[in-house]
Amino acid sequence: MEVSFLKRKIVVENTLTPYIDYLESQGYDVYTLYRNDNLQNIVSDEYDAIVVSGLDQLSLNDTEFEKPNASIIEADGLTPEEVHSIIQDKANLGS
């Protein structure tokens, strides 16, 4: 029996390099968020989480922006390992 493995996709703010590196090493497909410049590209349900340095970096009040269904995680004060654990917990709750 063949098992298909799909990489889990997440979005991480570009300034969070240690988080990007760690999550990639854990097998995640990481899409880089450049402040709000490419936020409008995150519109599907394909992403499990959005990791930002602080919620002030994520402008959800833009009238052209539709809030994605992904969990938004504020990395401030958390290690990459803690963020990874939160992503896993949220993914397990959703399955």
Q: What angle do CA 69, 70, 73 make, to 5 degrees?
A: 135
pLDDT at residue 43 tops 70: no
Q: Across all residues in the chain, what is the average pLDDT?
A: 80
pLDDT tier for residue 1 given thresholds of 50, 70 and 90: very low
Which of the four pLDDT bands, split at 50, 70 and 90, describes residue 71? confident
Residue 9 CB-density burial (10 A; 0-12 exposed, 13-18 middle, 19+ buried):
middle
pTM summary value: 0.78
Compute the average pLDDT of residues 7-17.
Answer: 91
| Rounded mean pLDDT, 74-85 | 96
Of 66 and 74, the one with more pLDDT: 74
Q: pLDDT at residue 57 above 60?
A: no
